[in-house]
Structure 1
Amino acid sequence: MRILIVHNILWAHYKSAVFQSLQQVVDQRSDVSMLVLQIARNERSRAGLESEPDVDVPTYSYNYELLFDWYLEDVSVSERFTALLRRVRAYKPDVINLTGYYDPAQLLLLGWAKLNGIRVIMQNESTAADHERSGLKERFKRFIFSRCDGFFCFGSQSADYVIRLGVSPEKILLKKNAVDNTTLRSVYQRALRQRSEQQQALALRQHNFIFVGRLIEFKNLPMLIDAFAAASAQSPNANSWGLLFLGDGVERDSLVAQTARLKLGNSVTFLSGKPWFKVPEILALSDVLVLPSRSEPWGLVVNEAMVCGLPVIVSARCGCVIDLVHHGQTGFVIDPDQPTQLTHWLLKFMNQEVDVVSMKKAAETYIAPYSPDAVAEEMLQGFLKIKN
């Protein structure tokens, strides 16, 4: 069996970790081969997160080809489709895994594959909760999904959304999403040894809530600052707790101004974004991850935090919630439109009313099955099921 995976950008390190694990299980079989077609190097919106050439960046080994060594936005639909079709014809796959339904070039490839008897597995990140969904667009997706033979979904909510669009549950071949657990955990453990020294160097509090990601509207960060201010005003331990933002984005200036208006002083710190493999260095200075987004297909930063053993407070509209955030065990789930809920749980941590030790253990236990090796094995079984 010849497996062809079409993926958007080479930069997506979490996918590279999975592809490497998949390559390793494929290489153990004489009857299976695989090739990943990376359409472009990166997206412009993530250009600032690319690592410098001289940095010791983790590398991954798997069989891939980079079709265009520039930004995805600069590659036209016709260029993408022409390049993909040329490589597909040369490789002659039995099964094709497409990245998603939103790329016209890949939809054209889906049509070509069906005309030529090639099985197609579609990746789906979307959930019913991450956006308002109705009308013509949903009918179009229903039509596209009806042409696919199987689905790799980013979690249970993603799978439920696909089923709601008429897909048979038997076609759901994967309901997981993974990051490079081993690398992230290793970096975190090393950084933890210098926690106090680094906190002092950055003028951080002894304990910190942390947000990691782009500082943009749908992340709902003004609510986080308001909730932190409210909790700080109520907790006798407020002087020991800070709020840390790791990331860049168009809302940074307004968030800094909001912090000043609320007179939060040095309890809120903004740090520029870091390459993914350096994020655990900052997680090591923190105690609880907060992701209050109004929309989030999955939320890989939750994986990253739980790999490092951090409890999490996560919006109910994040795709990972059902699978990873077990309320009261690995963290807490909040309604992103109810700031008092977030304030409540921030206070619980600040007032030492949460069993953080047991939450750390639970986080590590529940994240273990969401590893690149586990995802790769399920992907291979999915490919085999579709082929047979």
Structure 2
Amino acid sequence: MKNFRLAVVDTNPVQYRVPFWRYLSEHSPIDVTVFYATDVGLVPHRMDASRTTWVWDIPLLDGYRYEFVESLPVPLVPGPTANRLPLGLLRRLDRGKFDAMLVFGYQNGPALLGGSLAAILGIPLILRGESHDVGRRRTLRSKVKDLLLPWMLRVPDAYLAIGKWNRQYWEDRGVPPSKIWVALYAVDNDRFRRRLADDPERPQRLRGDWSVRAGETVFLYCARLEAVKAADLLLDAFARLESRGANAQLIVVGSGPQEDMLKRRARELGLRRVRWLGFVNQADLPFHFRAADVMVLPSRFEPWGLVVNEAMACGTPCIVSDVVGAGADLVAEQNTGLVFRHDDPLALTHALEMALDDRRRAVWRAAIPNVVDRASYRQNADAMADCIAHLNQQRDS
């Protein structure tokens, strides 16, 4: 029996969120309805200005209740999803008798309009955001935003923090701790496990395809090829590793605006053990994570980094920079990998060298299951149900 009715107002079907709506529908006391402003992600989409066109290969509309709402673009606001105003939302919310509304962030049309309508209709509003201040550059825009934000943050009735840095971000802007619930950012861990069980020999075959040598350590980069992700830093660090005779290989998964530049850089560095795989879709990613010995996310700034969750769902340790949000909750002090100083190729080289040790990696792998259990859909559903129950008790008192 469902105890609560939750309205989710989102920009479009997002591959990382949809499995959670399905989980709520099947395994929680929450009756969820998701209202989408656009259908981006359901049809082939060009990743960037170059060659790559893709569409997600996992179902995005199965197993939960959803509606696409009539929406209009907002002039002068970047798209293709954040600039939509779902004008058909009021009628649906009014008739839905919802116990709470969940929105994502505060800088997109669906969240802003949804939050305003929640206030008008008396629906308790829950905000889920990704921001943190670690490594964030203080620009004029960010300073102005920080002046205005405390006023905006009075509107939500509760916050679902994705981790400790995100919780600190809200508290530093005046949100009372009593209004914050921590629900660690999570992926569908069970889907990754099931996919690996479908073909348990596939990771070993991939290592054969990659011509992995005896005793060779395989490092995996899996992210867009853009400046903020710092793949260039990883190439520089890996070049130092190769120059020291390390038995290692680097697998690069992803595409993006820096792809051609990074391949030129690899040639200039004379890298011999780097393999470029391009974009790999969701159904095949688990095998790539399991085939690797370590996943590396060297970002110059990263609100979270769900690729860390994905790698750990497959049992793979991670090396991340010290501005990756997931590192604070899933890696640092958890002994599931290493955290290095961002934008420091020597620090990254040292981390890669430490990861060459088989025994150290075995210790990291042994610690991963406990971390995966903490960052799970079950934990998120429990936190959300507790939050909604509290808000309704508060409203009715």
Of residues 189, 192, 210 in structure 2, which corresponds to 1:184? 192
Contact 2:71–2:87 (8 Å) recurs in 1: no
Alignment of 1:165-180 (within 5 A): 165-180=173-188
- C-alpha displacement at 1:49, in angstroms? 4.2
| Match of residue 249 from structure 1 | 256
| SS of residue matched to 1:363 | helix
Measured on the aligned residues, the alpha-carbon RMSD in Å equals 2.6
Equivalent residue in structure 1 for 2:268, among 243, 261, 266: 261
How many residues end up aligned between the 2 structures? 374
Kept after mapping to 2: 8 A contact 1:41/1:69 = no
C-alpha change, 1:109 and 1:195, in structure 2 (3 Å) is closer
The residue that corresponds to 1:274 in the other structure is 280
CA distance in structure 2 between the aligned counterparts of 1:45 and 1:335, rounded to whole angstroms: 33
Question: What do the CA deviations read for 1:243-293 (whole angstroms, capped 9, x no partner)?
Answer: 01111101111111111111112x001112122231112113210000000
Residue of 1, 4, 7 corresponding to 2:7: 4
TM-score (norm 2): 0.86
Distance change in 2, residues 1:45/1:218 (3 Å): farther
More helix by share: 1
SS in structure 2 of the partner of residue 225 of structure 1: helix
1:310 matched to 2:310? The reply is: no
Counterpart contact for 2:24–2:31, Cα < 8 Å:
no
Distance 1:335-1:68 versus aligned 2 partners, 3 A rule: farther
Residue 42 of structure 1: CA displacement?
Answer: 2.5
Structure 2 unaligned blocks of 5 or more: none
Hey, what does 1:201 align to over in structure 2?
Answer: 209
Moved more, 98-107 or 154-163: 98-107
Return 128-137 or 168-177, whichever deviates more: 128-137
In structure 2, distance between residues paired with 1:180 and 1:377: 15
Structure 1 residue matching 2:291: 3-state secondary structure = coil
Quick one: percent identity of the two aligned structures? 27
1:357 aligned onto 2:378: no
State yes or no: 1:135 paired with 2:143.
yes
Which residue pairs with 2:37 in the alignment? 39
Aligned match of 1:333: 339
Aligned partners of 1:39 and 1:67 also within 8 Å: yes
1:298 to 295, 304, 313: 304
What secondary structure is seen at the aligned counterpart in 2 of 1:248? coil
* Map of 1:288 onto structure 2: 294
Which of 11, 14, 17 in structure 2 is aligned with 1:15? Answer: 17
Q: CA deviation at 1:368?
A: 1.4
Decide whether the 8 Å contact of 1:216 with 1:250 is kept in 2: yes
Contact 2:71 2:86 in 1 (8 A): no
Specify the alignment match of 1:342 in structure 2: 348
Q: Which of the numbers 118, 122, 128 marks the counterpart of 1:113?
A: 118
Q: Which residue of 2 aligns with 1:322?
A: 328
Residue number in structure 2 paired with 1:234: 244
Kept in 1: contact 2:37–2:110 (CA 8 A): no
Deviates more, 1:353-362 or 1:318-327: 353-362
Task: Tell me the secondary structure at the aligned position of residue 67 of structure 2.
Answer: strand
Query: Partner of 1:159 in structure 2?
Result: 167
| CA 75–84 in structure 1, closer or farther in 2 if over 3 Å, else same | farther
Higher relative CO (Cα under 8 Å, sequence separation at least 6) belongs to 1
Q: Equivalents in 1 of 2:225, 2:307: separation in Å?
A: 14
SS of alignment partner, residue 13 of structure 1: coil
Contact 1:97–1:122 (CA under 8 A) maintained in structure 2:
yes
1: distance between equivalents of 2:82 and 2:296? Answer: 37
> In structure 1, what residue type is equivalent to 2:176?
S
Is residue 21–residue 32 contact of structure 2 (8 Å, CA) maintained in 1?
no
- Matched residue type, 2:113: L
Where 1:138 maps in the other structure, the secondary structure is helix
Specify whether residues 255 and 74 from structure 1 end up closer, same or farther in structure 2 by C-alpha distance, changes over 3 A only.
closer
Cα deviations by residue, 1:318-354 (Å, 9 ceiling, x for unpaired): 111111003471000011122111100111222x265
- Secondary structure of the 1:333 match is strand
Task: Determine the C-alpha separation between the residues in 1 that align with 2:333 and 2:91.
Answer: 49
C-alpha distance in 2 between matches for 1:36 and 1:367: 26
Q: Are 2:187 and 2:306, in contact at CA under 8 Å, matched by a contact in 1?
A: yes
In the alignment, the residues of structure 2 paired with residue 74 and residue 299 of structure 1 have an alpha-carbon distance, to the nearest angstrom, of 22
SS in 1 for 2:241: helix
In the superposition, relative to structure 1, how do residues 155 and 127 fare at CA in structure 2: closer, same or farther (>3 Å)? same
CA distance in 1, matches of 2:144, 2:71: 35
Residue matched to 1:61: 63
The residue type equivalent to 1:8 in the other structure is: T
Maintained 8 Å contact 2:132/2:166:
yes
Distance 1:22 1:361, change over 3 A: same
Taking the aligned partners of 2:86 and 2:18, their CA distance within structure 1 comes to 22
Taking the TM superposition and a 5 Å limit, the aligned residue runs for 1:18-97 are: 18-26=20-28, 28=29, 33-42=31-40, 48-51=53-56, 60-67=62-69, 73-74=79-80, 77=83, 80-97=85-102
Residues 82 and 108 in structure 2, CA contact (< 8 A), matched pair in contact too: no
Structure 1 109/327 Cα, relative in aligned 2: closer, same or farther at 3 Å?
closer
CA contact (8 A) 2:241 2:349 kept: yes
Aligned partners of 2:72 and 2:87 also within 8 Å: no
- How far off is 1:70 after superposition? 12
SS at 1:259 equivalent: helix
